[in-house]
Structures are given as structure tokens and as C-alpha cells.
Amino acid sequence: MELNLNKHISGQFNEELEQIRNDVLKMGGLVEQQLTNALNAVNNSDQALAKRVLETDYLINRMEVQIDQECTRIIAKRQPAASDLRLVLAIVKTITDLERIGDEAERIAKVALESFNKTQQEFLVSMDNMGRKAIHMLNQVLDAFARMDVDAAFEVHKSDKILDKEYEAITRQLMTYMMEDPRSIPKVMDVFWSVRSLERIGDRCQNISEYVIYFVKGTDVRHTSEKDIQNNVLS
């Protein structure tokens, strides 16, 4: 999609919009890195890496506050309208979801600080599979955001169903295991929360995909069925 940023009379305004877009992508890259590190830490029982994830989260928080401030400044100073305003507002919302994905990564990393027996490690494998799909979703939605590609965003939106199904399958597995080995419950519950975190990450990627569609098409598609998005917004 052609962003047509050069239509502005003010070259400086162009630069400012480009800058916050880049900042969002930088923040997104860091969040993706955090999530990848969190999953690797769990997968390899790498406590040092897990601690690094916990120690890095404040950077994401700081980026959220900085980008938000910059968005407010741009609105006040540049008084953007139409698609420029939509871009700024889409960014304000996107960074909230990115920050929360960072929080979920933190929660997942904490699982690496515990030790698991052989059977329990099988769940970690299932969780890892689901986690890779969540990372892929995040990567794809950031890519859709970078190119403001509405079709790519919609693909991400639809792919959340796959993550939801995987979530249900794993939680069933975990419940069965807890029933068979009740002493394992406290430990398995930690895996439970992490799997839940991954499911929420999928929802948040879906949110971001909706902001991309909002920016490009000018239509708020939250709480809209995929069929309606397909038929009434995208075509």
C-alpha cells in the first residue's frame, strides 16, 4: 500500500509520522524478541535467559510511554485529520497491545525458573509448539503493520482460530494429567497460565490486525464477524 506520506506540505510532519511508525516497529521487534527468549528459556530450562526477559520488560514499558507521548504531541501540534489521525490513533492502541504481549512474555519466562519431570516436559513441548505459532502471528501482524497491508492483516485475524484450537487441546491434556497425578497440580497450573498467556497473545495480535484495517479502510472492525469484514470492508 502506498502511504502517500509525501502529500503533506510539511516535510517535517512526514518525518514525524515516519519516526513513530519506526518506533512502533522497533518496540514490536523487542516484544517479539522477548517472547522468543521466554519460550527458548522454558524449552531449554535456561534460567539465565528467563531472568534476562524479566529484566528487559521495563524497556518495553518505557517505549510505550514515549511513543504515546509523541502521539499526543503530534496530535496537539500537527492537528492531523483523516488518515493521518487514524494512523496516530491506531498507533496509540497498537502500543498498548504490544506492551501487554510483553507482560505475557514475562509470565511465560517465569515458568523456566521451575523444574519439571519427564512427563511434565511433554506439556512444555506442546506449549512450545503453540508458542511458535504465537510468535509467527506476532511477526506477521508486525509485518502487516509495517506495510499497512490490509490483506495480510486479515490473514492474521483469521489465523487466531488455529491458536484457539490448540489452546483447547492443550488445556484438555493438562486437565487429564492433573486428574491422574494430583500432586502435580501446582506445577501444571503454571503451565496452564502460560498456555493461557499464549492464547491472549493471539487475541492481541488480532487486535493489532484490526487497527491496520481501521487505518487503511477507515472502518472500525472490532466486534465485527470475519464474514462481515470480508464482505463489507475488504471487498
- Residues near its own copies (CB under 8 A): 58, 61-62, 64-65, 68-69, 72, 75-76, 79, 81-82, 85-86, 89, 92-93, 96, 175, 178-180, 182-183, 185-186, 189, 220, 222-223
Contact present, 94 and 21 (Cβ < 8 Å):
no
Closest separation in Å from C-beta 178 to its own copies: 5
Cα–Cα–Cα angle for 198, 202, 206, rounded to 5 degrees: 165
Residue 62 or 158 with smaller CB distance to its own copies: 62
Shorter beta-carbon distance to its own copies: residue 158 or 222 = 222
Of 31 and 135, the one with the shorter C-beta distance to its own copies is: 31
Min CB(233)–its own copies separation in Å = 13
Q: What whole-number distance in Å separates Cα of residue 91 and Cα of residue 94? A: 5
Q: Are 114 and 190 in contact (CB under 8 A)?
A: yes
Is 69 or 129 the residue whose CB approaches its own copies more closely? 69
Task: Indicate the residue among 48 and 179 with the shorter CB distance to its own copies.
Answer: 179
- Set of cell numbers at residue 139: 511477526
Backbone conformation region of residue 223, classed left if phi is above 0, alpha if psi is from -120 to 50, else beta: left
Closest CB 117 distance from its own copies, rounded Å: 17
From the CB of 15, what's the least distance to its own copies, in Å? Answer: 21
Q: How far are the Cα atoms of 150, 163, 189, 205, 219 from residue 228, in angstroms, in the given order?
A: 15, 21, 38, 19, 12
